Structure 1
Amino acid sequence: MLGLFDMMFMLGSLAVSLTVLVPLVGTLVRFRAHYNPKGLQLDSEGDVQPHTGPVISSYIGMLRRVHRIEGWPGLYKGLMPTLLSTLLITVFLMMFLSESNLRSGKYSAPDGGAVGVLFYSIFAMLVSLPQVIITNRAITTPHKLPYFNAIYSLRILLTPTERRRPWILYLTPGLLATQVAHIAYVIIFLRSIRQLLLPELANPGMPRTEEISPAKLVIFFVIALLSTVILAPLEVIAIRLSIQRNHAAPEFNSISQEEDGDAEEATEYAGADEDVIGLRTDREPYIGMVDCAKRIVDEEGWRALYRAWWLTTLGSLSGAFS
């Protein structure tokens, strides 16, 4: 068992991490979820209509916009679901892992080969999927959610259909396929390439410089960099699909509300006369991963699939040493 000092240190580190990461992750989710169609569109009668919503072209621009419109509370949207899930994981680690492992940070997925790690990662994704959906919706909703009223918040974030049948979250069109594709690419392809080129990195501790071939290291970094072409769109699509709400009636989409009391009397941010981001408001939801990619390209341009691509690249490169 951990001592009191170790527990306090762990909780303090957790608090600092959430303080820094929640605004950064929230900005990333909003930036990738923002619907920014091309300048001219056709209305239902075929007439050309200019786009009148906000245009945000950078991650930093989104961060500043959130702070300007919603202030610090807006930057910490999604704090409570993130905090609760992190606390559950922390308690699990404290209960079932040894003190030496916790102190040295040696916890990782079970080493059962690529297939074993793949199934473990998919299982972990399935367990956390509802939390990811709720967190992303909490971040992107224009409504102000209380920190300590989960029932009220869930009424805002989930449709009546989803509250009656919560398992329908797993049937969100294309979301599971997108998540599995992302996991499979990272584990089966990138992990196998790393094992082939840099097997020394799989050993405990940092390898000596002379053990690593500079040429193979450069090759792996180039492959990880090029992987951004595939991984960044998958991450954007996953966020778009996670905020797409499931309704009993097919004519409703991710933004529309069902008629039976969904999101009634929701509180807006004081003084906010405009939404931070634009959300796709037509009644034609994405019907799958490929459909989502095609519609994003058709409606917003291919650059929308590569928002904050540099963060994806950093994640891929850091995988060389994980």
Structure 2
Amino acid sequence: MLNLTDMLLLVGSLAISLAILVPLTGALVRFRAHYNPKGLQLDPEGGVQPHTGPVITSFIAMLVRVYRIEGWPGLYKGLMPTLLSTAIVTLFLLLFLSENNLRHGTYTTPSTGVLGTLAYSLFAMLISLPQTIVTDRAITTPNKLPYFNAISSLRVLLTPTERRRPWILYLTPGLLAAQVSHIAYVVLGLRTVRQLLLPVLSQPGLPSKEDVSVVKLTIYFVLVLVSTVVLTPLEVIATRLAIQRNHAAPEFNSVAQEEEGDTEEATEYAGMNEDVIGLRSEREPYIGLVDCGKRIVDEEGWSALYRAWWLTMLGCLTGAFS
């Protein structure tokens, strides 16, 4: 078992990681979830009207905007579901991994080949999908959620339909398709190519110069960079679909619910006179992965599918050595 010092170091490192990553993740989710239609829109009578919502053009601008409007509490939206999932994973590691692995951070996904890794990744995604949905909605809601009242928060984040039938979260149109496509591309595509071109990178430790072909390394990095073109839209679409809530009837949106209001107990941030981001009306929901992508392009332009593409590229490059 780990001694007290090791436990304190573990808890301390997790606290520092969450303190840094939660605001960055929150800004990323909001930036990709932000609905920013093109300058001119049609009103219900067919007339042309300009878009009047906030215009956010970069990840940094979103981070600054969140702090300006909601302060530090806004930056740490989504902390509690993230903390809960992190605690569960950490507890699992403490129970089932050796002390040596924990101290040296050598835990990786099981080495069972490409198909085994794909199955493991899909299983992990299915287990964590409800947590991902709740976290993304907690980040993007304009309401102030209590830290220690999960029931109250879930009444705001989930529709009555979702609370009665929580398994419907897995039926969110297009979300599973987006997640599976992302995982399949990374595992079957990038990992397979890496294994063929640079098998030495899959081994523990840093490879020597003699073990790595510069030509093959260059080819692999080019493929990783090109993969950003595929993976970034999938991540943006997954974010949009995760925050799109499921209703018993499509004409109901987040304010008018089918049986009861879901924002009656929610409060907004003090002094907040503008929304941090714009959210697309749920009266005309995305009906699938392809539909979501097409509507984003038609309503907001191609650039909306590539928000924070550089973060996806950094993730791909980091994954090359994982």
TM-score (norm 1): 0.98
Amino acid at match of 2:257: E
Distance 1:321 1:252 in 2: 46
Question: 2:290 and 2:316 mapped to 1: Cα distance?
Answer: 23
Alignment-derived partner of residue 287 in structure 1: 287
Cα distance change on mapping 1:282 and 1:12 into 2, 3 Å:
closer
Specify every segment of 5 or more residues in structure 2 that has no aligned partner in the other structure, as ranges: none
Residue 210 (structure 1) shift: 1.6
Deviations 1:106-127 (A, max 9, x none): 1111111111100100000000
Shift in Å at residue 37 of structure 1? 0.1
State how far apart, in whole Å, the 1-side matches of 2:306 and 2:290 are. 16
Instruction: Provide the aligned C-alpha RMSD in A.
Output: 0.9
Per the TM alignment, residue 265 of structure 1 is displaced from its structure 2 partner at its CA by 3.3
Q: Which residue of 2 aligns with 1:251?
A: 251
Aligned to 1:275: 275
Instruction: Indicate conservation of the 8 Å contact 1:257/1:263, yes or no.
Output: no
Which secondary structure does the structure 1 equivalent of 2:267 belong to?
coil
Partner of 1:135: 135
Partner of 1:204: 204
Deviation at 1:256, TM superposition (A): 4.6
- What is the one-letter code of the residue matched to 1:22? V
Contact 2:244-2:282 at 8 Å conserved across structures: no
- 8 Å CA contact 2:250, 2:284 repeated in 1: no
CA contact 1:159–1:257 (8 Å) conserved in 2: no
CA distance in 2, matches of 1:20, 1:236: 22
Q: Which residue of 2 aligns with 1:311?
A: 311
Question: Is contact 2:152-2:265 (8 Å) kept?
Answer: no
Distance 2:295 2:261 in 1: 30
* 1:286-310 Cα shifts (integer Å, max 9, x gaps): 0000000000000000000000000
Shift of 1:63: 0.5
Query: How far is the alpha carbon of 1:196 from its aligned partner?
Result: 0.8
Cα deviation, 1:221-277, whole Å, max 9, x if unaligned, reads 110000011000000000000000001112235x45414122213100000000000
Question: Structure 2: which amino acid aligns with 1:233?
Answer: P
Contact 2:136/2:242, CA 8 A, preserved across alignment: yes
Counterpart of 1:159 in structure 2 is 159
The letter of the residue matching 2:188 is I
Percent of aligned pairs with the same amino acid: 74
1:96 alignment counterpart: 96
Q: Where does structure 1 lack aligned partners over 5 or more consecutive residues? A: none
C-alpha spacing 1:179/1:282, structure 2 compared with 1 (3 Å): closer
- Structure 1 runs of 4+ aligned residues shifted over 4 Å read none
Partners of 1:265 and 1:239 lie apart in 2 by 25
Which deviations, in whole Å up to 9, do the C-alpha atoms of 1:152-176 show, x marking residues without a partner? Answer: 0000000001011100000000000
SS in 2 for 1:56: coil
8 Å contact from structure 1 (residues 162, 246) kept in 2: yes
- Which stretch shifts more, 123-132 or 197-206? 197-206
Measure the CA separation in 1 of the matches of 2:30 and 2:282.
19
Q: Which moved more, 1:48-57 or 1:260-269?
A: 260-269
Please say if residues 256 and 283 of structure 1, whose CA atoms lie closer than 8 Å, have aligned partners that are also in contact: no
